[in-house]
């Protein structure tokens, strides 16, 4: 939410592009964190 607020409020991108960018970042972070933390042996 903070990243989306930052992208929209400082007019870096419009709201639709911000949603797509933030969703891609969240998916990548979820994958990395699940590999490192959740599914650790």
Q: For 1-41, how does the pLDDT look when each residue is reduced to its tens digit (9 = 90+)?
A: 888 888 788 877 788 888 898 999 999 999 998 888 877 76
pLDDT at residue 41, rounded to an integer: 67
What letter does residue 40 receive in the DSSP assignment?
Answer: -
pLDDT at residue 28, rounded to an integer: 96
pLDDT at residue 35, rounded to an integer: 87
Phi-psi domain of 11 (left: phi exceeds 0; alpha: psi -120 through 50; beta: other): left
CA separation for the pair 28, 13 (Å, rounded): 20
């Amino acid at each position: 939410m903070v990243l989306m607020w930052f992208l929209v409020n400082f007019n870096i991108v419009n709201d639709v592009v911000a949603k797509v960018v933030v969703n891609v970042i969240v998916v990548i972070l979820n994958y990395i964190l699940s590999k490192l933390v959740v599914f650790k042996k």
